[in-house]
Amino acid sequence: MGANRCAVIGVGQTNHTSVRADVSIAGLVREAVDRALESAGMTLADIDAIVIGKAPDMLEGVMMPEMWLTDSLAASGKPVFRVHTAGSVGGSTAIVAAQHVMSGIHKRVLTVAFEKQSDGNAMWALSVPTPFGVPVHAGAGGYFSPIIRSYMRRSGAPAHIGAMVAVKDRTNACKNPYAHLHEPDWTLEKALETPMLWDPVRFIETCPSSDGAAALVMVSEDVADTMNVPKAWVHSTAMRSEPTMFAGRNQVSPRAGELCAEDLYRKAGITNPLEEIDVCEVYVPFSWFEPMWLENLGFAPKDHGWRFVEDGVTEMTGKLPFNPSGGVLSTNPIGASGMIRFGEAAMQVMGLAGEHQIDGAKKAMGHAYGGGSQFFAMWIVGSEKN
Amino acid sequence: MRDVGIVAFAESQLTYGTTNTPVEMIVPTVNEVLKNAGIERTEVDFWCHGSCDYMTGQPFSFVAAVDALGAWPPIIESHVEMDGAWALYEAWMKIQTGEANVALVFGNGKSSAGDMNRALTLQQDPYTVAPLWPGLTAMEGIGACAALQAGTVTERQMAEAASRARRDGAKNGNVLVSGSESADELLSRAVTSAPFRDHDLPAMADGVSAIIIAAGDAAKRIAKRPAWIRAIDHRIDHQNLGWRDLARSTSAAIAASEVGVHNDKVDIAELHTTFSHHEQLLINALQLRPDATRITPSGGALVGNALMAAGLSRFGHSARAIFDGTADRAVAHAQQGACLQQNIVAVLEGN
Amino acid sequence: MSDKAADKPLRVRMPIGIDYKWCAGPASTDYLTGLKDGRLYGRRCPVCELVYFPPRNGVCARDGVMLGESVEVGPKGTVTTFCIVNVPFLGQTIKLPYVAATIILDGAHLGFSHLLQEVEATDVRMGMRVEPVWRDKSDWDYSLENISHFRPTGEPDAPFDDYARYL
């Protein structure tokens, strides 16, 4: 771990929904940024550096929009940085922002991740057909559902597990005013009646397409110590990547994810993650990824992740709540989702999660992944200094 | 701050219209820089990559690049939608946190993939500027006119920059354009898109640049004479052309001041000049004295501009001058955005 | 500005058309030229010796080296996993529902996606043995689409352990 501590002192996010026709891209970004600054008790003038993250620029049709957003973020004369690591970008952006502070170079850093994907055509942008390929995929769902089938077969998981997770996340989202989907009436029975989109993945087990942004204000220890606001201390961060495809790759539980988690726990001094972590915000865009990530992150033994779901371990009342915010399954602005996870984890240990607060949460994990389950970014935040 | 030095550099042979895929371009250059450093890929703690989807014409275009790195067992790697020079900055920052000691950074771009002049329009305000489809050359033309009118750059200085770039390029060997014309000869040529003559525009290229940086003892182990990064800083200006003084590059000046360019002599300054008027603007912003400092001895991006790699190449060429003893103290610069909107400056020292 | 104007921001539709030149690259060119002749060529990694079909940029992603010799693979293969697609997407030309299967050809060690037809979707199984059905020769181009779809061979399914490590 670096010599310098870093604390999150402000978290902001937009009211996520399918089309934010009421704001420009800059307006969307400022909504999250202004809320983060307000909760930190700061203004843009206090910020030393800005780190921006988002997914492919084809989603909005603006190349390197952070260069244009400089004007809207009062960033003239400051360092502005742009991270792009596919779906994990919201998470890796938060990590790069933390490193701006942990390196000792900056004291007050603003980071924002966003996607205004209704401005373009998201499904096209996610799978632009390239020449010489075969147009068999149907977007992300078509890519991931065969992998999910492999998990179900390998683990012997019963078919209703995906629906259980979906009902949990959509119900949790009703306690989150910022979430895109607010659907209070789901039951397991109703969920199992929804149609298969890419068999074995059902309609309810799939994330929405959202416009949204999330922002964090991160400061150095000496600055944090002078401020009388709730803080989330960054205990550890970790990133890992592996190739999209190579002969013999395990796509169900990628090694990069396992190693990333191991590194994360080791640096945070965590030896028993299931006991020591109070709540997790984990990137689950298709509900079956919850049992898969439970195993990948070392919480559940191999092939037993689904049992944790069935036993209610990941419910808000369970031993290890997953996604009390409703998760990606309830809100998915692609570039922002990772930072929403990292931000929601921070909110938990800051005591700022309102109705979806897990009581007494002192240590939380934020998790994001991207590409073909190949890019992983994670952090552990705590209410106390590490 | 930890001492971090550039210890190896490799640049692909610049070309235009390659039929290789970006991955096929990256593999040899990454392997070459590892060979130049004399290390195995397993000794690299952190990999960082700079590239741009809209320049490749594909979303997530950088994802395939991970295939070029032999990322097994899984690696720690990140990507910026910026010139490779900023990937170097992220790696330098990571080393400062203590989480890495050796990093490999690279930038790649295939300018021949499309009409980059047109595509770069999309960097502009999507509501009020981009729909006019001005193109980069027109935006830069506005900037050049402003500077010429204000007198911070002269036509002669532009011609001198182009003349020197073409002559130095001939010596460098890895450029797309070279020549021996004097500034007068170049000035006698026709203006083709005012205020530019053809030689004032960048020679677009396909290429990959890669650099290895390392901390302290690791750097000394790898290179006989590391190019120590004494200071590095980057800044951005407003984008809107009406909101800033186009006759100067304020963000470049701030970055230069932050790194202490003039704390000591500057033997060479590799400036990421893409349009010829940038050279004088940057000389002004960095307060360089061409009588005391060799300006862009590699020839620079004017004679070979591989998008997203050319900025990193300036760092590489500065480092090389320190490796071979040509320089003891060098300044490396990279830029992106129209009219020198964003700039990164570093001071490199051999001692 | 009146409240009315503030409530309804202007929206502008800006079509973006940019042409790009896309190169298959040398390794893929061999593979595509093979397809034009009705042949299936993968490439072997000189380090791990596994065969990639398709050869994806000509690099072994695990070892970071260019792939080596061309190796003919298939024509038969095994379905490692699959999904049944019910949802339409932009640019889709295939009739719903359809089965998108991940197939590893005999002799290769990497799966690729293709259509599985001539079988009820509900009868498709992991481990199913399949073979390519080629379009009419006169329609052949530099594309895996020369194969219209895969269909079951009728052979017994491959044992789970044979393909489990490719999941």
Q: What Rg, from alpha-carbon coordinates, does chain A have?
A: 19
How much is the pLDDT for B26?
Answer: 96
**Does pLDDT of C90 surpass 80?**
no
How much is the pLDDT for A1?
Answer: 41
Q: Is the peptide bond before C159 cis (omega within 30 degrees of 0)?
A: no
**Does some domain include residue C1?**
no
Is the C-alpha dihedral spanning B314, B319, B321, B327 positive or negative? positive
> Would you call A3 helix, strand, or coil by DSSP?
coil
Residue B63: half-sphere exposure toward Cβ, Cα within 13 Å: 22
CA–CA gap between residue A334 and residue C136 (Å, rounded): 42
C89 in reach of chain A (CB within 8 A): yes
CA–CA gap between residue A216 and residue A338 (Å, rounded): 12
Least CB–CB distance from B123: residue in A67, A83, A244: A67
Residue A363 phi/psi, 5-degree rounding, is: -135, 130
Position C137 confidence tier, pLDDT thresholds 50, 70, 90? very high
Decide: B162 and B200 in contact? Cβ < 8 Å.
yes
CA–CA gap between residue A224 and residue A5 (Å, rounded): 10
Residues of chain C in contact with residue A134, where contact means CB-CB under 8 angstroms, are 112-114, 143-145
**Does pLDDT of A13 surpass 90?**
yes
CA–CA gap between residue A198 and residue C98 (Å, rounded): 9
Decide: B205 and B176 in contact? Cβ < 8 Å.
yes
How much is the pLDDT for A248?
Answer: 81
Burial class (CB in 10 A: 0-12, 13-18, 19+), B351: exposed
Q: Is the peptide bond before B73 cis (omega within 30 degrees of 0)?
A: yes
In tens, the pLDDT along A21-63 reads 999 999 999 999 999 999 999 999 999 999 999 999 999 999 9
Decide: A334 and A122 in contact? Cβ < 8 Å.
yes
Least CB–CB distance from B21: residue in C14, C16, C25: C25
How much is the pLDDT for B172?
Answer: 87
Burial class (CB in 10 A: 0-12, 13-18, 19+), C114: buried
CA–CA gap between residue A342 and residue C52 (Å, rounded): 37
Least CB–CB distance from A153: residue in C112, C121, C126: C126
CA–CA gap between residue A96 and residue A86 (Å, rounded): 15
Q: What is the mean pLDDT of residues B130-156?
A: 97
**Does some domain include residue C2?**
no
**Does pLDDT of B77 surpass 60?**
yes
Tell me A286's DSSP state.
Answer: B
CA–CA gap between residue A173 and residue A322 (Å, rounded): 12
How much is the pLDDT for C1?
Answer: 45
How much is the pLDDT for B314?
Answer: 98
How much is the pLDDT for A132?
Answer: 78
Residue A265 phi/psi, 5-degree rounding, is: -65, -45
- For tokens 């329609």, the residue is C139
Minimal CA separation from B141 to chain C, in Å: 22
- For tokens 């190693």, the residue is A259
CA–CA gap between residue B87 and residue B77 (Å, rounded): 10
Report CB contact under 8 Å: B126, C14: yes
Residues of chain A in contact with residue C97, where contact means CB-CB under 8 angstroms, are 199
**Does pLDDT of A87 surpass 50?**
yes
Percent of chain C past pLDDT 90, that is, above it, reads: 63
Q: Which of C100, B335, B86, B219 is nearest to A145 (CA)?
A: C100
How much is the pLDDT for A137?
Answer: 62
Give CA separation, B153 vs B46, B148, B283, B284, B331, in Å.
41, 5, 10, 9, 21
In tens, the pLDDT along A199-240 reads 999 999 999 999 999 999 999 999 999 999 999 999 999 999
Domain boundaries defined on chain A: 6-122+209-225
> Would you call B325 helix, strand, or coil by DSSP?
coil
| Per-residue b or e along A314-342, where b marks 16 or more CB atoms closer than 10 Å to that residue's CB | bbbeeebbbbbbbbbbbbbbbbbbbbbbb
Residues of chain A in contact with residue C83, where contact means CB-CB under 8 angstroms, are 141-142, 145-146, 149, 198-201
Position A352 confidence tier, pLDDT thresholds 50, 70, 90? very high
A12 pairs with which residues across the strands?
A: A215
**Does some domain include residue C20?**
no
Contacting chains of B (3 CB pairs or more, <8 Å) are: A, C
Minimal CA separation from A87 to chain C, in Å: 20
Least CB–CB distance from A105: residue in B76, B96, B123: B96
In tens, the pLDDT along A308-345 reads 999 999 999 999 999 999 999 999 999 999 999 999 99
Look at chain C and report how many structural domains it folds into. 1
Instruction: Return residues 108-147 of C near A (CB < 8 Å).
Output: 109-110, 112-115, 121, 126, 142-145
* CB contact set of B306 (below 8 Å; sequence gap of 6+): B12, B14, B108, B109, B111, B205, B206, B207, B208, B209, B313
Least CB–CB distance from A243: residue in B71, B79, B336: B71
Average pLDDT, chain B: 96
In tens, the pLDDT along B291-300 reads 999 999 999 9
Residues of chain A in contact with residue B239, where contact means CB-CB under 8 angstroms, are 67-68, 70-71
**Does some domain include residue C11?**
no
- Terminal CA-CA length for chain A: 10
CA–CA gap between residue B143 and residue B162 (Å, rounded): 17
C44 in reach of chain A (CB within 8 A): no
Residues of chain C in contact with residue A123, where contact means CB-CB under 8 angstroms, are 89-90
Angle at A157 between CA A151 and CA A159, to 5 degrees: 105
- For tokens 């130049």, the residue is B36
Count of Cβ atoms closer than 10 Å to residue C157 Cβ = 15
| Per-residue b or e along A106-122, where b marks 16 or more CB atoms closer than 10 Å to that residue's CB | bbbbbbbbbbbbbbbeb
CA–CA gap between residue C3 and residue B143 (Å, rounded): 38
Position B105 confidence tier, pLDDT thresholds 50, 70, 90? very high
How much is the pLDDT for A276?
Answer: 98
Give CA separation, A312 vs A148, A161, B206, in Å.
21, 11, 55
Percent of chain B past pLDDT 90, that is, above it, reads: 97
How much is the pLDDT for C4?
Answer: 54
> Would you call B256 helix, strand, or coil by DSSP?
helix
CA–CA gap between residue B113 and residue B290 (Å, rounded): 36
- For tokens 């181009």, the residue is C141
**Does pLDDT of C3 surpass 60?**
no
Count of Cβ atoms closer than 10 Å to residue B239 Cβ = 26
Give CA separation, B224 vs B211, B261, B328, C140, in Å.
16, 24, 14, 57
Count of Cβ atoms closer than 10 Å to residue A183 Cβ = 14
Report CB contact under 8 Å: A251, C167: yes
- Structural domains in chain B, CATH included, are 4-116+204-226 (3.40.47.10), 132-200+228-349 (3.40.47.10)
| β-bridge pairing B102-110 and B204-215 | antiparallel
Q: Tell me which residue range forms the domain holding C133.
A: 25-166
Contacting chains of A (3 CB pairs or more, <8 Å) are: B, C
Position C91 confidence tier, pLDDT thresholds 50, 70, 90? low
Which token pair is A363?
């240590």
Least CB–CB distance from A21: residue in C11, C14, C62: C11
Minimal CA separation from B85 to chain A, in Å: 12
How much is the pLDDT for A130?
Answer: 78
* CB contact set of A36 (below 8 Å; sequence gap of 6+): A10, A11, A12, A110, A112, A215, A216, A217
How much is the pLDDT for A350?
Answer: 98
**Does pLDDT of C83 surpass 60?**
yes
- For tokens 């070459």, the residue is B32
The ipTM is: 0.97
**Does pLDDT of A250 surpass 50?**
yes
**Does some domain include residue C86?**
yes
Provide the number of CB pairs (under 8 Å) joining chain B to chain C. 78
CA–CA gap between residue A181 and residue B25 (Å, rounded): 44
Give CA separation, C10 vs A23, A63, C125, in Å.
10, 21, 52
How much is the pLDDT for A282?
Answer: 98
Count of Cβ atoms closer than 10 Å to residue A298 Cβ = 17
Report CB contact under 8 Å: A154, C92: no
B236 pairs with which residues across the strands?
A: B342
CA–CA gap between residue A273 and residue A209 (Å, rounded): 32
> Would you call B12 helix, strand, or coil by DSSP?
coil
Average pLDDT, chain A: 95
- For the domain A6-122+209-225, what is the CATH code? 3.40.47.10
Q: Pick the more confident residue, C89 or B45.
A: B45
In tens, the pLDDT along B180-194 reads 999 999 999 999 999
Report CB contact under 8 Å: C66, B24: yes
Q: Pick the more confident residue, A283 or C69.
A: A283
DSSP string covering C20-37: B----HHHHHHHHHHHHT
Residues of chain C in contact with residue B23, where contact means CB-CB under 8 angstroms, are 25, 57-59
CA–CA gap between residue B188 and residue B195 (Å, rounded): 13
B188 in reach of chain C (CB within 8 A): no
Provide the number of CB pairs (under 8 Å) joining chain A to chain C. 123
What distance lies between CA C131 and its chain's CA centroid? 14
A83 pairs with which residues across the strands?
A: A53, B80
Q: What is the mean pLDDT of residues B163-174?
A: 94
Residues of chain A in contact with residue C22, where contact means CB-CB under 8 angstroms, are 130-132
- Which chain C residue is nearest to residue A121, measuring alpha carbons? C90
Angle at A128 between CA A126 and CA A132, to 5 degrees: 135
